[in-house]
Amino acid sequence: MPARRASNLLRPALLALLALLLAVPLAAAGTLDRAGMERYFPAPLVVGERDATLPVWPILKQEAGSYEVFAYAFESIDLAPIPGFGGTPPDLLVALAPDGTFRDVRVVSHHEPVFLEGLGSEPLFAFVEQYVGMSARRPIRVGRPNARGSGAAPQTTVDGISMATASTRVINESILAASLAVARAKLGFGAANVGLKVEARPDPGEAPTVAELTARGWLRRLTVSNERAEAAFRDAGVAGAGDGPAAAPLIDLTFAYLNVPAIGRTLLGAERFAALTRELGPGDHAVMVVSHGPENPLGEDFVLGSIPDRLTVTQGGLAVNARDMAIERRGAAPALPDGAWTILRITGAAGFDPSAPWTLTTKLVRERGQIFPEKIAREFSADYALPADLFVREAAEAGPSWTDPWRARGVELGVIALALAGLVPVLARQRGLVADRRRFPMFRLAYLAFTLLFIGWSAQAQLSIVTLVGLVRAATVTHDLAFLLYDPPSLLLWAFVIATLFVWGRGTFCGWLCPFGALQEFVAWLAKPLRIRQVTVPPRLDRALRLAKYVVLAGILIAAATGSPLADSLSEAEPFKTAITLYFVRAWPFVAYAIGLLVLNLFVYKGFCRYLCPLGASLAVLGRLRLLDWIPRRAECGSPCQLCKVRCRYGAIGADGRIDYPECFQCMDCVTIIHDPGQCVPEVVARRRGRRIALQPVAAE
């Protein structure tokens, strides 16, 4: 049989490919030497000596006759080799200033499929440029496209890229993970509360007074006198003090951590504390700051809900993102002095550990000069610490950035999961909806429309040979499959498709869940009104053409296993990226190819799927492990009845009535026919003769 011969030919090829996968030990490492670094950092900057213990290059700049560190430059792949959606880590050149801000971020190399002859690399270059000026001291998240223009904080958010959410999240995590590794080693920050969840213990019933909180150090005061302020600004040649005696306070702040019930209830009262607890998110923290002095660090123009310019919470050298909560300001303890006050929210993502010492810093600003005044700032700080027994400490969930898309795409995942759950009983109960020749075709068309419009164009969950290329590269380079987690809808579909491979074979994906396959089916509908006659491919040519997709598959996987960039080019045999991922918005050769395949489909039904699709070939190979020959047959199938063979537009039924399961797309047309007493020829004949005939399994090809 042709399929059996193909299987015999493919077996040694697959064994050879497996040997290649095990034999090629490629390494992921940076590629820039000193000359490469000097191209990115030309004179007057100077590239110093590479660090002996960490793959970091100091970039020096001459200041006042001596060289000072302008930035630390490094490649992300050396410090955070996180696999991208192409299976290999992107390599980003990052220049980190001594204060933790990004001087520069460049793309050195990448294998992200959507940016390779897809969107092009320009959107990726523009994406990483957003990091310049941002700080590694703050968590940075990838928002939606134009998120910053829609009000997201530009200090902590970068605009995402449509159709590239998985890739941009991987790149964001690569930049931040590598930068924090350098920051901890070189800049002395970023080590606080890593992988730890710290929460206040439930209230033991204690109700201390404000005086008792002050005596314990749970309510602290930061006071800066006129004399101290004047001394701080003396070297700048400006007056730093306010009006009044030298010993009088200029800045006078009272502050405390509120999550501990004994503190929060005393300062806010039971009702207001309960309201605060409800408003805080899981893992969030609240810090109260009340200003009593004449110099208010909040400022007259302070906007509720914003980040105070002159108040900073730091821990372990890391500035923690603390934002005003914009809640009701009345109801504080009467024993607290009057004054303007704020409650600062610190989100759980900030890595803040309230059981460890932290610092509140206030900034005093003065101006020097009249025509072009120069702002001079001085900072004043007070430490704060609470007993460790007030808190429960436990290992936090890892929470890497791949968890974000799972939360953000929960609705899409739910819809797809429901659709998959609804498909299983329809396909499994052959005497149910499938047997109804009027209702089942309508159900199939509706499901294919869902596959094309929602799974494909909306959820961007078109499965692709690119994923297999990524798996091969992961096996040979990174040994890390985490890149799959950045695309939840596709991963859900992969899990379902792999499970159904062992039950029904290739057809569940190719016939029901492939958006491009669905698009071809709808285009094929145009053949009838356009009066286009389908071309019958001669059997011998048909058998030869069916082997072509296996050749394409082998070429792609071998190229990927040997580290050849040819794998990305060969993967373009699929038109999925053009037609589904990029909505045909692409360079004209790719669009012409995709449209050409759709036009071919008008003459040769699903010609791409049958003859060229490398993903279909891989599923056909794995589908040979299926457990069931699930399509019912009769003894008369093939001899004398040829109805199912004639009706099968995929050519998956032989002249003897046997099913070629690796070529079956599970359209269920033959199942509908065999269960319909008005269509199945042997049953029609038997009824006329007053007999009943039974279904029986027939061995597959």
What CA–CA distance (Å, rounded) separates 699 from 701? Answer: 7
Same domain (yes/no): 121, 216 = no
pLDDT category of residue 31 using cuts at 50, 70 and 90: confident
Report pLDDT for 401: 58
Per-residue pLDDT tens for 258-273?
999 999 888 888 888 8
In a domain, 16, yes or no: no
Report pLDDT for 9: 43
Report pLDDT for 287: 92
Highest mean pLDDT: which range of 13-27, 265-279, 289-303: 265-279
Report pLDDT for 512: 93
Q: Is the pLDDT of residue 15 over 50?
A: no
Select from 395, 425, 444 the last residue of a domain. Answer: 395
Per-residue pLDDT tens for 137-166?
777 878 888 777 777 677 778 888 877 777
Q: What are the φ and ψ backbone dihedral angles of 56, each rounded to 5 degrees?
A: -130, 135
Report pLDDT for 256: 93
| Encoded tokens for 367 | 């101006």
Per-residue pLDDT tens for 117-137?
667 788 889 898 999 988 887
In a domain, 137, yes or no: yes
Selected residue with higher pLDDT from 2 and 552 = 552
In a domain, 699, yes or no: no
CA angle, 599 then 597 then 582, to 5°: 110
- Chain centroid offset of residue 65 CA: 47
pTM (2 decimals)?
Answer: 0.57
Same domain (yes/no): 303, 242 = yes
Select from 187, 219, 254 the last residue of a domain. Answer: 187
pLDDT category of residue 377 using cuts at 50, 70 and 90: confident
Same domain (yes/no): 364, 409 = no
What CA–CA distance (Å, rounded) separates 224 from 221? Answer: 10
Same domain (yes/no): 663, 520 = yes
Are the CB atoms for 236 and 272 separated by under 8 Å? no
In a domain, 23, yes or no: no
Q: Is the pLDDT of residue 348 over 80?
A: no
Q: What residues are paired with 253 via a beta bridge?
A: 222, 291
Q: What are the φ and ψ backbone dihedral angles of 31, each rounded to 5 degrees?
A: -115, -5
The label of the residue with tokens 């001394």 reads: 231
pLDDT category of residue 699 using cuts at 50, 70 and 90: very low
Q: Is the pLDDT of residue 23 over 50?
A: no
Report pLDDT for 351: 67
| Encoded tokens for 172 | 């964001």
Radius of gyration for the chain, computed over Cα atoms and rounded to the nearest angstrom? 33
In a domain, 342, yes or no: yes
Structural domain that includes position 470:
403-688
Neighbours of 128 (CB within 10 A): 22
Selected residue with higher pLDDT from 196 and 270 = 270
Average pLDDT in the 618-642 region? Answer: 86
Q: Is the pLDDT of residue 192 over 60?
A: no
Q: Is the pLDDT of residue 7 over 50?
A: no
Same domain (yes/no): 330, 424 = no
Sign of CA dihedral 348, 354, 359, 364: positive
Report pLDDT for 698: 43
Report pLDDT for 430: 83
pLDDT category of residue 340 using cuts at 50, 70 and 90: confident
Q: Is the pLDDT of residue 4 over 90?
A: no
What CA–CA distance (Å, rounded) separates 465 from 574? Answer: 8
Average pLDDT in the 602-624 region? Answer: 91
Selected residue with higher pLDDT from 137 and 94 = 94
CA atoms within a 13 Å half-sphere pointing along the CA-CB vector of 372? 0
Average pLDDT in the 633-659 region? Answer: 86
Report pLDDT for 166: 74
Are the CB atoms for 304 and 247 separated by under 8 Å? no
Same domain (yes/no): 334, 275 = yes
pLDDT category of residue 691 using cuts at 50, 70 and 90: low
Same domain (yes/no): 175, 209 = no
Highest mean pLDDT: which range of 117-121, 277-281, 694-698: 277-281
Are the CB atoms for 157 and 140 separated by under 8 Å? yes
Longest dimension (CA), the chain: 118
Per-residue pLDDT tens for 572-610?
899 988 888 878 877 788 889 999 999 999 999 999 999
Report pLDDT for 26: 40
In a domain, 327, yes or no: yes
Determine which of 100-104, 576-580, 693-697 has the lowest per-residue pLDDT on average: 693-697
Q: Is the pLDDT of residue 102 over 50?
A: yes
Same domain (yes/no): 564, 662 = yes
Mean pLDDT of the chain: 81
Same domain (yes/no): 566, 417 = yes
Are the CB atoms for 111 and 87 separated by under 8 Å? yes
What CA–CA distance (Å, rounded) separates 103 from 266? Answer: 46
CA angle, 453 then 458 then 460, to 5°: 110
| Encoded tokens for 72 | 């630390």
In a domain, 13, yes or no: no
pLDDT category of residue 1 using cuts at 50, 70 and 90: very low
Report pLDDT for 63: 65
Selected residue with higher pLDDT from 572 and 64 = 572
Q: Is the pLDDT of residue 655 over 70?
A: yes
Same domain (yes/no): 382, 435 = no
Residue percentage of the chain with pLDDT more than 70 = 85
Q: Strand, helix or coil at 346?
A: strand
Report pLDDT for 513: 93
In a domain, 25, yes or no: no
Report pLDDT for 129: 92
Number of domains in the chain: 3
3-class SS letters over 249-291 = EEEEEEEEECCCHHHHHHHHCHHHHHHHHHHCCCCCEEEEEEE
Residue percentage of the chain with pLDDT more than 90 = 23
Same domain (yes/no): 644, 558 = yes
Select from 395, 416, 445 the last residue of a domain. Answer: 395
Same domain (yes/no): 372, 430 = no
